[in-house]
Amino acid sequence: MAADGRAHDDDAVNPPRLQDVADRAGVSTATVSRALSGKGHVSSRARARVQQAAHELGFVVSYHASSLASGRSRNIGVVLPYVDRWYFSTVLEGVSAALTEAGYDLALYNFQGDRYRETVLTDFLLRKRLDAAVAVALPLDPAETDQLLSGGIPVVGVGGPLTGVPTISIDEADVGRRATEHLIHLGHRRIGHLGGEEEQPRYFAMSSGRRAGYEQAMAQAGLPVEPAWSLIADYSFTDAYQRVKNLLADPADRPTAIFSASDEMGAGAILAARDLGLTVPGDLSVIGIDAHPLGEAFGLTTIDQQARQQGVRAVGRVLEQLAGTAGEPTDEIIPAHFVVRSSTGPAPA
């Protein structure tokens, strides 16, 4: 390396070493290792000097060498049923950002529903050199969990409780109850619900949990749950649009408010009302759950389940396990926050 910081031609033959970075930064090699690996305490000033020295020297950490020394691959597996749906992709975004920040690689496994579930769990995850795995919206049974743990792969779940491993989730019944109570407090008494089908055992009780919260709030307020106003859709904008439009077409028997189990369906409900000449929220109030960007475009009041933060926090729990600082496995409940917009208002006179 020349005095002016430019590389000589022979630097490619003799790449910079850890000691070279330490000499330039004026710190020990142990400090360089901690600063570049993200493990252990390093002052912000020393970390900045090390990073600057590494940049000037063109020093790149050899993760292959460090994995041989530590027995770690610095590779975390993430398994989920879909990658093309908002919730899963948003959780994945949080996981990816947190892993990059911590200096880990990500290995993604898409079940495509249930198509590759058994292959991934019994083969791919076990034969890859993974330090840990994050399971998103996958209620692993005890045998599947034990197989991963016995293979030396710590697991963190996202989306609901799992036996014997730490998990990150929201309280589905609680957000359903709170969303419905918001409408009740605005004076609505004719409140419909737009949700999904009852879950199969392979999935967490998200739709049924949110519906249970709706029914609980209605019962506590002494309000009837009209079967005709409890709609089942496939969580898509278009399906919700058509089902709500059919419901609202009869002016003699329609609700003044709808609690939608997702923002995409809630946006479809708003468009259906508008296409029938109804005003939102003058004639119909709508609330959703998610904080999806589509809901923001429609002015949809929602409850933010902090999907990205669920992914970030899952990585935090993974790193605690790898560092040996994790306590007993618990189901950590992420707080969900109200985002009040223009789609909810007082009930019509």
Q: Which CATH number fits the domain that encloses residue 18? A: 1.10.260.40
Which distant-in-sequence residues (6+ apart) come within 8 Å of 201 by Cβ?
139
Same domain for 21 and 113 = no
Residue 158 forms part of a structural domain: yes
Rounded Cα distance between 39 and 122, Å, is: 31
Domain that holds residue 104: 73-169+308-333
Residue 342 in any domain: the answer is no
Q: Tell me whether residue 260 is in a domain.
A: yes
Tell me the whole-structure pTM to 2 decimals. Answer: 0.78
Judge if 150 and 210 occupy the same domain.
Answer: no
**Total domains present in the chain:** 3
Together in a domain, 193 and 112 = no
Q: Are residues 161 and 268 in the same domain?
A: no
**Are 180 and 296 contained in the same domain?**
yes
The whole-angstrom separation of Cα 206 and Cα 195 is 10
Query: Do 228 and 235 contact (CB within 8 A), yes or no?
Result: no
Tell me how long the chain is: 349
Q: Which of 122, 126, 82, 130 is nearest to 105 (CA)?
A: 130
- CB contact at 8 A, 184 and 117: no
In Å, the largest CA–CA distance within the chain is 85
Same domain, 164 and 312: yes
Same domain for 250 and 210, yes or no, is yes
Q: Which tokens go with 172?
A: 């589905």
Residue 325 maps to a domain: yes
345 is a domain residue: no
Domain assignment of residue 117, yes or no: yes
DSSP string, 45-74: HHHHHHHHHHHHHT----HHHHHHHHS---
Clarify whether residues 95 and 146 are in a common domain: yes
Indicate if 193 and 284 belong to the same structural domain: yes
Helices within 103-233 (DSSP H only): 117-119, 125-127, 142-150, 172-185, 206-220
Residue 86 forms part of a structural domain:
yes
Per-residue pLDDT of the chain (349 residues; tens, 9 = 90+): 444 444 444 444 567 777 888 899 998 877 887 777 666 677 888 888 988 988 888 876 654 444 434 445 688 989 888 888 999 999 999 999 999 988 899 988 887 656 656 665 666 565 667 889 999 988 888 888 888 787 788 999 999 999 889 999 999 999 999 999 999 999 999 999 999 998 776 678 899 999 999 999 999 999 999 999 999 999 999 999 999 999 999 998 999 999 999 999 999 999 999 999 999 999 999 999 999 999 999 999 999 999 999 999 999 999 999 988 988 999 999 999 999 999 999 999 8
Same domain, 145 and 177: no
Is 278 found in the same domain as 188? yes
**Residue 67 within a domain:** no
Question: Are 200 and 238 within one domain?
Answer: yes
CATH number, position 77 = 3.40.50.2300
